[in-house]
Amino acid sequence: MTAVVNPVEPLLRTERIPHIWCPGCGIGTTVNCFARAISESPDIDLDKLIVVSGIGCTGRVAGYLRLDSFHTTHGRPIPFATGLKLANPELRVVVYSGDGDLIAIGGNHFIHAARRNIDLTVICVNNFNYAMTGGQVGPTTPTTAIGTTAPYGVYERPFNLPYLAASCGAVYVARWTAYHVRQLAKSMKEALHKKGFTFIEIISPCPTLYERRNRLGDGLARMRFYKDNSVIDHDADLRSLDIGFEGKITCGRFVNIERPSLIEAMDTRLSDKLGPKYQPIGNGT
């Protein structure tokens, strides 16, 4: 008679739990969705599922998952993942990191990976700030919101991540909030099974910093806010997906297209040009 365990448990390095995330933080919620997506995918060989994170609160996800996981440098999980994938195309590589890591310092790598359509799933937890370092603003912080490096309120315009990803060529683009656990798990499953650069943005609470400084309540208040102020519109115009301070959040699966992945394109071109002389990289050493 086997003991019944939490479905997420086999995927966790339980010896490292409790994790470092705050009460009401949504990152752990996204990890449950990831676990659900995997548990519903018996075709995914967990030995070949690699998670790569950058630096930040979300970057710590790699350390809590019992998969081959890499906690790399700030902003650079995507090029690290690119090296992994190109060197062994049999690996299924997931980049799991935060808004500052992926879009600010990592922005250049993000747009090129999308452009190239390297076969990666990029999960971006967007809590509108640099949480790990104490709540500085970032390129997704809504205008007028406060952070430690914008004490009088942000006067920049933030990125619209789904639009950015789509414009660079991502073949799968979705946005959910931490409230939309079912839809998020489903999106993760779709993205994991789709070839090419797949991107999921997850709006998530940071009750200790972003929400507290901007007097938006605790994690639960934010989850209620997401529930009451989000709309699901898969056909939304990508240009309309900006998130204003306390504004409406449009969620959905906005892009789901097909185009050759980087490795497919490389193999096609090099085979065309070199014929039988072309040697794709082997999977041994």
Partner 1 sequence: MSDTETDRKVRPNRPKGVVVIDRDRCKGCGFCVEFCPTGVLALSEQINGKGYHPPEAVAPDKCTGCGLCGMYCPDFAIFGYRPGKQASEVD
Partner 2 sequence: MKADPRGVLTGAHYIDGNHACCEGAIAAGCRFVAGYPITPSTEIVERIAVRFPLVGGVFIQMEDEIASSIAIAGAAWAGKKAMTVSSGPGISLMMEHVGFAVMTETPCVFVNVQRGGPSTGLPTLPGQADMMQARWGSHGDYEIIALCPSSPQECFNLTIDAFNLAEQYRVPVFMMMDECVGHMTEKVVIPPADQIEVEPRHFTDLPPEQYLPYKAGDDSVPDMVKAGDGYRIHITGLTHDERGYPVISADCQDRLVRRLVGKINRNVDSITRVDQDQVEQADVVVVSYGITARVALRPIEMARRKGIKVGHLRLVTVWPFPQQIIRELAGRVKAFVVPELNLGQVVLEVERCAAGQCPTLLVDHAGGTVHDPDRIYQAIVEAAK
Question: Which spans of this chain sit near partner 2 (rule: CB under 8 A)?
Answer: 13, 16, 47-48, 50, 52, 62-63, 66-73, 76, 78-88, 90-91, 108-109, 112, 266, 270, 274, 277-282, 284-285
Residues 163-182 that bind partner 1 (CB under 8 A): 179, 181-182
Contact status: 97 vs partner 1 (CB under 8 A)? no
What residues pair up with 230 in beta bridges, in sequence order?
249
Q: Give the CA angle between residues 117, 65, 256 to the nearest 5°.
A: 30
Contact status: 66 vs partner 1 (CB under 8 A)? no
Residues 189-218 that bind partner 1 (CB under 8 A): 218
Q: Strand ranges (DSSP E) for 47-140? A: 49-53, 68-71, 92-98, 120-126
- Which of partner 1, partner 2, none is residue 88 near (CB under 5 to 8 Å by kind)? partner 2
Question: Which member of 185, 200, 203, 263 binds partner 1 (CB under 8 A)?
Answer: 185
Q: Which residues contact 53 (CB under 8 A, 6 or more apart)?
A: 59, 60, 61, 62, 63, 69, 70, 71, 72, 77, 95, 96, 97, 101
CB of 124 to partner 1, least distance (A): 17
Q: Answer for the pair 89, 57: CB distance below 8 angstroms, yes or no.
A: no
Contact status: 219 vs partner 1 (CB under 8 A)? yes
Q: Answer for the pair 38, 49: CB distance below 8 angstroms, yes or no.
A: yes
CB of 279 to partner 2, least distance (A): 4
